[in-house]
A = this chain, B = another copy of it.
Amino acid sequence: MAEDLVLSIDGMGGDNAPDIVVEGVDIAAKRSPGVKFLIHGDGARINALLERYPAAKAASTVEHAEKSIGMDVKASQALRQGRDTSIWNAVQAVEQGRAHAIVSAGNTGAFMAISMFRLRKMEGVHRPALATRWPNLKGGYTVILDVGANVEADGEQLVEFAIMGEAFARAVSGKERPSLGLLNVGAEDQKGHEEIRAAAKLIRESGVDMDFQGFVEGDDIAKGTVDVVVTDGFTGNISLKTGEGTARLVAQYLREALTSTWLAKLGALIAYGALSQLRTRMDPGTFNGALFLGLNGLVVKSHGSANGRGYAAAIGVAEKLARSHYREEIVRNLDRLAKAEAAGAGKSMEKAPDNAPEKEAG
């Protein structure tokens, strides 16, 4: 892409905004000289901060917004009262074609609602989904979606999540053909909800061009068995939060172990460098940046508690996506899916008398 990439930034969203936002922009600006930033929010505060970050200052334009949306505002309220807030204006800049993607560390519900309202769904997408990454034993990241946008999803919606997640994985990992699995309670075909079995059947029969590996289980996320794990937003949200809780528990066990005796303390002191690297590796900031997939615009959500480095990681996700063909790939596969469904519907009707499709009747 020869033209400059412009990212629209919600300067006021997040636990430590606007400070960590400007710090994150500074890190990103040094890393990626071709990127420009449109920062929305309290002009006086943001400009004052930019004085301390020359790289960010050089790459940024500040657009003043009178208001911002608090973390406890509900999505419905945000839609009614959100106009002229930093999130609203950040989203609007993409809608107006003045920026290629939005990044916010603010209120997730409000951000999703405003993005959906202003940018609208892509044609062919019924339910947008929130995708994120989880580190795995193979040294990479597993993409998982939906992690909270929809508490329920039928078979067709799960297939749409698969199509969007696979394109997202290719864009952020550079892998030509990411593999894909549906999250279930076992690998056998007859396991799980009707919705998941329907999704598996649909992916296999639709001719969408994906490396589909069938069902995977919860522990496959951290194993990295497949590159993309697809589930509904209820299961995805709860399982990742269970994983986060477990990681914190183990970290706490480790701290207790390494301070339990003077020998343990001495050992920890000697291994300090390695343990610091471990801490960095376990810092959620290193894989920060969830994507709200399926809209006419790139919408990236940073953790609310991200530090500057974490915020820069979320900006990195937005950059990669904006420079990729992920949108075209989604469109292409959604088109295949629609054709397969149309053909499949016709086929079922033709064959119904011979086949006695007992299972499809349910």
Contacts and interface: CB of A to CB of B under 8 A. Distances in A.
* Residue of A250, A257, A264 contacting most chain B CB atoms (<10 Å): A250
Contacts of A272: 267
Contact of A192 (B234, B244, B257): B234
A277 B249 contact: no
B241 A137 contact: no
Contacts of A193: 151-152, 234
Contact of A151 (B151, B192, B244): B192
B270 A270 contact: yes
Nearest to A219: B245
Interface stretch (A59-67, A83-91, A220-228): A220-228
Interface string A141-163: 00000001001100000000000
Contact of A137 (B220, B222, B252, B257): B252
A237 interface: yes
A342 interface: no
Interface string A298-319: 0000000000000000000000
Contacts of A239: 218, 235, 238-239, 241-242
B185 A238 contact: yes
A224 to B, nearest CB: 9
Interface in A247-278: 247-254, 257-258, 260-261, 263-264, 266-275, 277-278
B243 A245 contact: yes
A217 interface: yes
Given A218-B244, A243-B243, A270-B267, A257 B237 contact: no
A135 interface: yes
B267 A274 contact: yes
A221 B240 CA distance: 12
A109 to B, nearest CB: 9
Interface string A78-109: 00000000000000000000000000000000
A272 to B, nearest CB: 8
7 contacts: A217-B237, A218-B238, A218-B243, A234-B235, A260-B277, A266-B271, A267-B270
List the 4 shortest-distance A-B pairs measured between CB atoms, nearest first: A267-B271, A218-B241, A222-B245, A219-B245
Given A151-B192, A217-B241, A253-B278, 20 more contacts: A148-B185, A185-B234, A185-B237, A218-B237, A218-B241, A231-B238, A238-B238, A239-B239, A246-B246, A246-B250, A247-B247, A247-B249, A253-B282, A257-B271, A260-B274, A263-B274, A266-B267, A267-B275, A268-B271, A270-B270
Interface of A: 135-137, 148, 151-152, 183-185, 191-193, 217-223, 231, 233-235, 237-254, 257-258, 260-261, 263-264, 266-275, 277-278, 281-282
